[in-house]
A and B are shown apart, each in its own frame.
Chain A
Amino acid sequence: MSNEVMALIIIFVFVVGATVVGMIPGMKQKMSLEEWAVGGRSFGRWLNWFIMAGEIYTAFAFLGASGWAYARGGPTFYILGYGALAYLIGYYLLPGIATVGRKHNLLTQPDLIEKLYGSKALGIFTACIGIAFLLPYLQLQLTGLGLIIETCSYGQITRVPAMLIAFTMVALFVYISGLKGVATTAAIKDVIMMVAVVFFGLYLPFHFFGSLGGMFEALEAAKPGFLALPGGTKNLDVSWVMSTLVVTSLGFYMWPHFSANSFSAKNNDVLRHNAVYLPLYQFSLIFPMFIGFTALLVLVPALKTPDMAFMIVVQQVFPGWALGLVGGAGALACMIPAADLLLSTSMLFSRNVYGRTIGQNTSPETMGQIARVVVLILTAIALALAIFLPNMLVNLLLTGYSGVTQFFPMLVLGLWWKKASKLGAFAGLIVGELLVFGLILGKMDPMPFAGLNLNAGFVALLANTVIFVIVSMLTCNTKADQSSSAVIKNS
């Protein structure tokens, strides 16, 4: 059998297999909106672990980490740091979110904000910002998937049909099974991904250099200092890594779909227990970096797209079946997070934007139907954007992590600080987001300041927090705020 056919069959089996498994939960039972969106709040340790862990291994971790290692060197190592810190924050934060969620039957992040501040407008505003950051993220998964399948089929299947086929399948199982479908497929994806990255991540350095240390010695000899900071870059130095670690660890659970996943846990112990073991999963993020570093040493000529380093090096060293394995794993790494993103974006739109404005009197059953139809519409929109305007949303995507991190003061202080006020939240959030956009689109990320290079999100977060606290102190005595905050603070 030729390499292309072999690779394509393997990818096909992976993609179809995951879809079928994902559809099973929804076929067995009829689901209410709560069951569909947050798994009926019934997830025990394992399902919750997989859905939380599965989030890390997206197309970015797979292709991006190896691409960063290939092009940038030392700064890539920040990726090893933020996850464990984020889980430590989650250890305190998620039980807080989930407690309020269970008490008031919340399904989404804007639900929570609306409840905390007793403000419908703030909820709608949060939902709109959330959608603005989730949509490009969804598109990125699509584009990544198209690239992977195109390379793995040696160009036999081009990008557009690949995206069409795979995403019709994602939309289908999200439509039928909701979060349970995402959780079961995430379990399969994690196992396959882990096998693929560990195998290739160790095999390639050993194959070419005899050992891991041998590979790094060779790299240090060829490019002294590339493996420290700022590595292959000019300004991603010590201060950049430090400020970026602050932004990414605080921002991790501010992604609307991550907050919502905590509502799926059966009880708070599930969340705390998982926070203990999730950091260990971070080890797996180092293997794609090994692949990127090996690719830098062995691939000649240099790659135009560093993000393709993983696949090109596998394509050159291994026969077709191996590339099929990587392609299949990579395709799942795009599909499963995309499924979760679709579900969350759909909930934000149907429940928090439509349901709070023109559709105020919609019954829960109708809302469930609408949320499912919105999944299909969003898939179509993301596909159209990925096909016709592949670059339009890049700017928005760049601002993603820095953008969602701006929710942090509003959410955390809203849960635990009695004086947090609606106006303070509005003011802080607006200032934070404007600074993020201004700095990043003005090519000021990282921002040079007194000899440091600070992550733009970090600068915005500081301003956001200061404004939030000052405005809250000034306005916390208004009547509306007191009645709203009482809802939560006494719980």
Chain B
Amino acid sequence: MSLVKIILTLIPFIWTIGMIPFVNRVKPFVLGLPFLAFWLVAGIIVAFLCIKALYTIDSKNNKEAD
């Protein structure tokens, strides 16, 4: 597995699990949400982008292999 893929896999885990001790706060509100809730919602987008990137990389590799 390439380094890029490992990093893309780790980012969502660090964002959503690893950062919890630093984002456990109510304020500031972002988009009307308490900060902790906002952080986890943002984590969904981060995960989406990372998996999307992994999928793009893998599709390209599969095509080359064909």
B59 neighbours in A (Cβ, 8 Å):
269
A72-109 interface code vs B (CB 8 A; 1 in, 0 out): 00100110110111011001100000000000000000
Residue from the list A246, A275, A279 in contact with B44, Cβ < 8 A: A279
A416 to chain B, nearest CB (A): 12
Contact (A246, B40) CB under 8 Å given A213-B29, A276-B48, A279-B47: no
Report the Cα distance A228→B26, complex, angstroms: 5
CB atoms of A238 and B32 under 8 A apart:
no
Complex CA gap A129/B32 in Å reads 44
Q: Which of B31, B33, B55 contacts A276 (CB 8 A)?
A: B55
- Binary flags per residue of A59-75, CB closer than 8 Å to B gives 1, else 0: 00000000000000010
| Distance A92 CA – B12 CA, assembled complex (angstroms) | 14
| B1-31 to A contact mask, C-beta < 8 Å, 1/0 | 0000000010011001100110011110101
With A and B bound together, what is the CA distance between A91 and B8 in angstroms? 12
| Given A229-B36, A238-B24, A242-B20: A84 and B55 interface contact (C-beta under 8 Å) | no
Q: Are A283 and B55 in contact (CB under 8 A)?
A: no
Q: Tell me the nearest residue of chain B to A227, going by C-beta.
A: B34
Q: How many residues of B contact A (CB 8 A)?
A: 32
Q: How far is the CB of B44 from chain A (nearest CB, A)?
A: 5
Chain A: interface secondary structure? helix
Kindly list chain A residues whose C-beta atoms are within 8 Å of the C-beta of B32: 211-213, 216
Q: Are A88 and B29 in contact (CB under 8 A)?
A: no
Does B17 lie within 8 Å of A85, measured CB to CB?
yes
A216: B residues at CB distance < 8 A: 29, 32-34
A241 to B43, CA, bound (A): 15
Contacting residues, chain A, for B9 (C-beta < 8 A)? 88, 92
Chain A 190-214 against B: per-residue CB contact (8 Å), 1 yes, 0 no?
0000000000000000000001110
Give the chain B neighbours of A241 by CB distance below 8 A. Answer: 20
Number of A-B contacts (CB under 8 A): 104
Bound-state CA distance A78–B16 (Å) is 9
Please pick, from A211, A224, A238, A279, the residue contacting B20 in the complex, using a CB distance under 8 A. Answer: A238
What is the bound-complex CA distance between A279 and B20, given in angstroms? 19
Known contacts: A276-B52, A276-B55. The answer to whether A228 contacts B34 by CB under 8 A is: yes
Neighbouring A residues of B13 by C-beta, 8 Å: 85, 88
Whether B37 pairs with A84 at a CB distance below 8 angstroms is no
CB distance from A487 to the nearest CB of B (A): 24
Q: Which of A77, A87, A211, A227 contacts B51 (CB 8 A)?
A: A87
Whether a CB of chain B sits under 8 angstroms from the CB of A460 is no
Q: Mark A275-299, 1 if CB is under 8 A from B, else 0.
A: 1110110110010010000000000
Is A273 part of the contact surface with B, judged by Cβ < 8 Å? yes
Once bound together, how far apart are the Cα atoms of A273 and B37, in whole Å?
27
Question: Which of B24, B37, B54 sits near A80, CB closer than 8 Å?
Answer: B37
Contacts A84-B12, A85-B17, A242-B17 supplied; 4 other A-B pairs, CB < 8 Å: A87-B51, A88-B51, A283-B44, A286-B37
Identify 29 residue pairs between A and B in the complex whose beta-carbon atoms are under 8 Å apart, listed by A's number: A77-B37, A77-B40, A80-B43, A81-B43, A84-B16, A84-B43, A84-B48, A85-B17, A85-B47, A88-B47, A88-B50, A216-B32, A216-B33, A220-B27, A227-B34, A228-B26, A228-B34, A228-B36, A238-B21, A241-B20, A242-B20, A242-B21, A245-B16, A246-B17, A272-B55, A279-B51, A280-B44, A282-B44, A283-B41
Interface residues of A (CB under 8 A from B): 74, 77-78, 80-81, 83-85, 87-88, 91-92, 211-213, 216-217, 220, 224-225, 227-229, 238, 241-242, 245-246, 269, 272-273, 275-277, 279-280, 282-283, 286, 289
